[in-house]
Amino acid sequence: MMVQSTPQTGAQAVSTSSDVIVAAEGLTRHFPLAGGASVRAVDGVSFDIRRAETFGLVGESGSGKSTVARLLLRLDEPTSGRVTVDGNDLFALSNRELRRQRRRMQIVFQDPFAALNRRKTVEQIVGLPLSVHLGLRGQARAARVAELLDLVGLRRELAGRYPHQMSGGQCQRVGIARALALEPEFIVLDEAVSAVDVSIRAQLLNLLKDLQIRLGLTYLFVSHDLAVVRYMSSSVAVMYHGRIVEMGSRDRLFGDPMHPYTHCLMKAIPIPDPDQERANARARAGGVVEPDAVPVEGCRFRHRCPLGALSPRCASEEPQLIQVAPDHQVACHYPQSPESVVNVVSTAAAAQQSIADPASSSLPSHRSRG
């Protein structure tokens, strides 16, 4: 197959059919900082989420996943680009349409304790959207809350409990019950199992899978943990510093990963970058901002890439997503499997010792797929 270049802003992701429920088109969110600089939290990402699928968004801390998630629910405004829901521009909806839309789209957050009001009982927490949006009261509301608790595998007696009287796993189930209260179609799960004990993580993941099948739900599953993304998702996008660097079906992406960053994620569970975190925290607090660690030109990953130091092209030209298979896109000038990277790096290193400028000529061009 010919390799074909698709700019990120124009990539119609993997699917173009009418089964797309939510789509991001050139979505960009820059946070201005004191002194005129800005954090390029999300920088021109495009993807389609198809009905009843789980679209996984993975990348290390600070890569822009939560910002994308918030934009998809219109909890934040993009700097540019757009989000469509059933083909309609989410940011062009009237207040009335937006209220209706909000019922169809829900979110479950990472920290089960922080996400629940500690002064309210489970019945009040899960019942709140039922009162506000559906006007349910008294017995009718209690009956619906009981149904929702059944649905998420919680005993009905827990309705009278407060969050601090329950385990993290139980609280997360309450969060899921609340998200399901208005019978949404699309749910964003932002690190939804990252804070719970490993021993109950699998149960929660299976509950989510089970609910998806029973209720026909579509998920955006956001996590820094590649293993859980692989377990949950049918399509996956890998984010690095605000860009999608690789995207495709789960089988393609895990079967034949082609971006050096994806290779890194697969070798180890990513370690959050504490320096970056501290800089970000200071930036948000309006303090002194350290220089942005992300290169302004060229490939953002090149300083950590085993190939980046070898090719001048990586320093000058930002790679766009290119199609390497029908359901697989990679934003790298030299996409290839991990084994070839090892070969290329050792060949280039050997060549570097013998001649003055071995770099660009020693790298293979895009690997054709067929």
Ligand X SMILES: Nc1ncnc2c1ncn2[C@@H]1O[C@H](COP(=O)(O)OP(=O)(O)O)[C@@H](O)[C@H]1O
From the list ligand X, Mg ion, none, which binds 284 (C-beta under 5 to 8 Å, kind-based)?
Answer: ligand X
Name the one range near Mg ion by CB under 5 A: 62-70, 204-212, 240-248, 308-316. 62-70
For 128, other C-beta atoms within 10 Å of its C-beta total: 15
Closer residue to ligand X (CB): 9 or 61 = 61
Q: Least distance (Å) from ligand X to the CB of residue 159?
A: 33
Q: Least distance (Å) from Mg ion to the CB of residue 78?
A: 17
Query: Which H/E stretch holds residue 25?
Result: strand 20-32
Q: Which residues contact 366 (CB under 8 A, 6 or more apart)?
A: 3, 322, 324, 333, 334, 335
Closer residue to Mg ion (CB): 185 or 190 = 190
Instruction: Yes or no: say if 187 and 179 are a contact pair by the CB < 8 Å rule.
Output: yes
Residue 104 C-alpha from the chain's centroid: 19
CA-to-CA dists, residue 167 to 22, 162, 164, 339, angstroms: 33, 11, 8, 44
Q: Least distance (Å) from ligand X to the CB of residue 225?
A: 12
Closer residue to ligand X (CB): 66 or 172 = 66
User: Which pair of structure tokens corresponds to residue 281?
Assistant: 């925290």
Closer residue to ligand X (CB): 46 or 170 = 46
Q: Least distance (Å) from Mg ion to the CB of residue 244?
A: 16
**Single residue of 66, 172, 262, 280 touching Mg ion by CB under 5 A:** 66
Give contact residues for ligand X (rule: CB under 6 A): 31, 39, 41, 59, 61-67, 280, 284
User: b/e string for 178-205 if b means 16 or more Cβ within 10 A?
Assistant: bbbbbebbbbbbbbbbebbeeebbeebb
From the list Mg ion, ligand X, none, which binds 125 (C-beta under 5 to 8 Å, kind-based)?
Answer: none
Q: Which residue has the tokens 């789960």?
A: 250
Name the one range near Mg ion by CB under 5 A: 35-43, 60-68, 136-144, 283-291. 60-68
Nearest alpha carbon to residue 51 among 104, 109, 117, 110 = 104
From the list Mg ion, ligand X, none, which binds 67 (C-beta under 5 to 8 Å, kind-based)?
Answer: ligand X
Residue 91 C-alpha from the chain's centroid: 20
Q: Per rule CB under 5 A, is residue 63 in the interface with Mg ion? A: no
Q: Least distance (Å) from ligand X to the CB of residue 292?
A: 9
Task: Name the residues that contact Mg ion, by CB under 5 A.
Answer: 66
